[in-house]
Amino acid sequence: MHLPNTFRQISLTLMQPLTEREIRAAFVNCTKGEARRLSVPRDLAERPWEDLDYLGWRDPQAPDRAYLVTRRGDRPRALALRCPAPAPWQTRRSMCSICLTDHTSGVSLMVAPMAGKAGKQGNSVGTYLCSDLCCSLYVRGKKDTGLAVRYRESLTVEEKIQRAAANLDAFLAKVTA
Ligand SMILES: [Zn+2]
């Protein structure tokens, strides 16, 4: 199985447990005030960090807001995301753009305001993500979509992890461009 070079270049950087302070300081596409106020999970210590390429969560008070934190290089980077309700004319997507998992209805369009000046001018980047932000667990076979027939791929788990990491990295690069 030959993978494009971009997959190989991403070395597997395991997520280390992060503290609330580290996460708040890692946001790249919202103001410092927003990063201070937004909701961060309280159970950070119990999250399965060793199985995560990113930690994603939704704001329990505002279901149209989601957040994720990952590692780029040796630094944590966090994104604030909006999940707009799909317009009626939009075709429903069923595949996550990051982990390429197929769902029946578990994929949401998530939009990240761009970092810096581009973001202040109202520019944003959208991607289709697993609605529960559990890409890492689907990729590792630790969570199931419940679909009876699944498209089978010949990639190993490690190759799928690398591919998801490369996709996430590309998304992050677009947001911070
Ligand atoms: Zn996914």
pLDDT digit string (tens) for 9-28? 444 567 889 999 999 999 99
| Cα 86 to ligand 1 centre (Å) | 18
b/e burial code for range 70-105 (CB count within 10 A of at least 16 → b):
bbbeeebbbbbbebeeeeeeeeeeeebbbbbbbbee
| pLDDT tens column, 100-158 | 998 877 899 999 999 999 999 999 999 999 999 999 999 999 998 876 555 667 889 99
**Cα–ligand 1 centroid distance for 25 (angstroms):** 25
What confidence tens digit (pLDDT) does each residue in 41-88 have? 999 999 999 999 999 999 999 989 999 999 888 899 999 999 987 766
Residue 5's pLDDT is what?
Answer: 47
Query: In angstroms, what is the span from residue 115 Cα to ligand 1's centroid?
Result: 23
Global confidence as pTM: 0.86
pLDDT in tens, 143-174: 988 765 556 678 899 999 999 999 999 999 99
Distance 133 CA to ligand 1 centre (A): 6
**CA 104 to ligand 1 centroid distance, Å:** 13
DSSP 74: T
Q: How far is the CA of 1 from the centre of ligand 1 (A)?
A: 22
Which has the closest alpha carbon to 126: 79, 81, 164?
A: 81
Once rounded to an integer, what is the mean pLDDT over residues 85-98? Answer: 77
Distance (angstroms) between ligand 1 centre and the Cα of 52 equals: 12
Report CA(31)–ligand 1 centroid distance (Å).
Answer: 27
